[in-house]
Structure 1
Amino acid sequence: MILITALFFGFVSAVIGILPPGLINMTAAKVNIKEGKRSALSFVTGAILVIFFQVYLAILFAQFIGERPQVVVLLREVGCGIFSLLTIYFLAIAKTPKKIKGKIKKQRISTRFFLGMLLSALNFFPIPYYVLVSLSLASYGWFSFETLSIFIFVFGAVLGSFLVFYSYISFFSKIESKTDFFMRNMNKIIGSITGVITLITLFNIVKYYLK
């Protein structure tokens, strides 16, 4: 049962994390429009290869800090400060992102593969995201830091990532108008999410020290 839940939560967490319009999925959609599905899938394959290692490393790191409560508390305090700054930045400072209008030059398929790897490697969000997800699931007994469970979870995350990327490639023309809403309100959405995380983290820190 734990293996099924690992696959399920790996899949769902990937879908939730990648579904909002971002650099990688939007680029995959634009490559498909300009160069065709073959080039877009090559780009996605490169991105997913990096995501595989990012998720795996994130879970190993989560396992490490999960065995050391003092490290968890320290990370919570540091994370609370970081998320507080991010909340202030996105809600009060950051400018509304502009829609990308640049043209994508036609490149070889192998070039698109390495571009996917590069853009995915530059995206550091998956590591803290999957650390938080795996630790949360483990705390409820829905995930185990055993070798097989880890690989099943990573496999589920890869499947979920591919599904989202493929959906952007296949249905971008139908959802393009809705991406404008996300682009206009992206700062508010991210700021609200980081604000909620900050409050939850602060609550856990206070709860820990009041024990």
Structure 2
Amino acid sequence: MGSVGLLYVGAVLFVNALMLLGRVEAKSAAVLNLFVGAMQVVLPTLLLAQAGTDVKSISAAAGVYLFGFTYLYVGIGTLANLDTTGVGWFSLFVSISAIVFAGVNFFDVKDYPFGVIWLSWSFLWFLFFLLLGLKRAELTVYTGWVTLANAWGSVTLPAFLLLTDNYTTSGTFAVILAVCAVVICAGLWPLTRPGRPGSAAPGPSTEPVTGA
């Protein structure tokens, strides 16, 4: 079930990235957030119902809830025209929690690539905190591009590797993911920094209504 959920998280991050970049209208993106958010709450609930006392299964479900609640929060908040500070500060909680889950993957589960992926998610959700919680609107374009990179690199790619039984927990794959993540996130900043020509978000809405 986890690989299926990852695939659709990739879809919602892709649409939200395009929303932040002004290519998708916010309320239109909110609908997909509701669909994926509901799925990311139902699936871990089913997992918990079957987990019993299996700590690893319970931990996995807890991690999925963080994102399911984010997408529901974003979808409902956008459609109801709510202020973004609530989802922004919740994103900070998710960002900190993701660091803990990264440690679990590195030192307990020994799934090194997903340790790196959790750190990538932590950084992305921290950007959502800055953008939505602290109203750092000048980070809209940078956050949009980092969201787009995560949609494909940290979510969709692992999902397809898992679905095709080609995923590996090797340290080598983890190093490759880490290097790519650092290079992309660092490289995007000078290209999207405030004041650079073309760094303003184009399109129908530049208000950072959602991004998770």
TM-score (norm 2): 0.30
Q: Larger Cα Rg: Structure 1 or Structure 2?
A: 1
Determine which structure has greater relative contact order: mean sequence separation of CA pairs < 8 Å that are 6+ residues apart, divided by chain length. Answer: 1
Whichever structure has more helix as a proportion of its residues is 1
TM-score (norm 1): 0.30
